[in-house]
Chains A and B, each alone.
Chain A
Amino acid sequence: MSPRKRPSTEEIVQELKERRSQEVIEVDEKTQQFVVVSVGEDWFGFPGSQIREILSHSPVTAVPGVPPIFLGVINVRGDLESVIDLARVLGLERHANPRQERILIGHAAGLSSGILVDTVFDIIDVPMSRISDSVKIADRQKAHYFTGEFEFRSRPVVVIDAGHLFTDLLRPA
């Protein structure tokens, strides 16, 4: 058996050019923006079109007489926004680190609210071909919040529709 021929410098350069041209084709693909967050061990993606801003954890004023998933209200430049605890909504355990906690201000289905998450990792553009429609979720009651899944940093990220979330929370139980 003859030993494998080592590629020449020209061949390596050619291969790199080919790879780069393939990447350009992928970048040209239609993408969707997501805000990638974590709650406990799980990672979630909110469509960028539904998130108006990301705030550091500001003091939340508690409101009596509302379900415990509502942490209270915050003052966002003179307007009051409710704040929901995403961990409680999804029945997950938070990894509370106040320095990393963020409040996303979400707008969807004509409603708005702050959403407390453990961490915001990034805002990324995901090629549509990499977003799967199917989500492996055991809790069927929560499944209708989830509209897809993609991979980011080798981890599954579940897409959450803030519109479904807000509409559900609108109704007193």
Chain B
Amino acid sequence: MADTSFETLIFRIENSYFGLYIDQVEAMSMVDAIPHGVPRLDVLLGYEPVASLNHPHLIRVRCRSGRSADVLVEASAGILEFKSRDLRGLPSLLDGHLRSGPIWAAALVEDRIVFLLDLERLPMEPSCEA
């Protein structure tokens, strides 16, 4: 069975790492002023917005519908390449709680747990839905 490689853009929020497939990212740029109405990824994921973003970046996500949607993130922690053998199933007790959320899988890369995100499951603005 082929061991496929994936490239993900990594973000760190508190002590957790989140990955977004590069193919889903249409553009990423640093912004000086927070654009009105664009949600923060940490808030969409359920974190308390304890501080303002130090290095706010705007990510334009390429939706499957062909549309684009924007989300604000703290500067990326880098690009991480991992293999399909690094993918891990979500623990059985969490599976039901996460099923309708943005985390669809996890990867274990160099002892670091990375949650893989499908941003289309989050209420971004504008929405990915046509």
Q: Please list the residues of chain A having a beta carbon within 8 angstroms of any beta carbon in chain B.
A: 59, 61-67, 70, 72-73, 75, 78-82, 84, 110-113, 166, 169-172
- With A80-B91, A110-B92 known, 7 other A-B pairs at CB within 8 A are A61-B15, A62-B15, A63-B94, A75-B111, A79-B88, A170-B96, A171-B96
Interface size class on chain B is: 20 to 34
Q: Say yes or no: B92 contacts A112, CB within 8 Å.
A: yes
Interface string of B86-115 (1 = CB under 8 A from A): 001111111011100111001010010101
Q: Say yes or no: A64 contacts B46, CB within 8 Å.
A: yes
Q: Say yes or no: A62 contacts B113, CB within 8 Å.
A: no
Query: Which residues of the other chain, A, contact B45 by a CB distance below 8 angstroms?
Result: 64-65
Of residues 46 to 104 in B, which have CB atoms within 8 Å of A's CB atoms?
Answer: 46-47, 88-94, 96-98, 101-103
What would 24 A/B residue contacts be, using CB atoms closer than 8 Å?
A61-B15, A61-B17, A62-B14, A62-B16, A63-B98, A63-B115, A64-B45, A64-B46, A66-B94, A66-B97, A66-B98, A73-B91, A73-B94, A73-B113, A75-B113, A78-B108, A80-B91, A80-B106, A80-B108, A81-B91, A113-B93, A169-B93, A170-B93, A172-B96
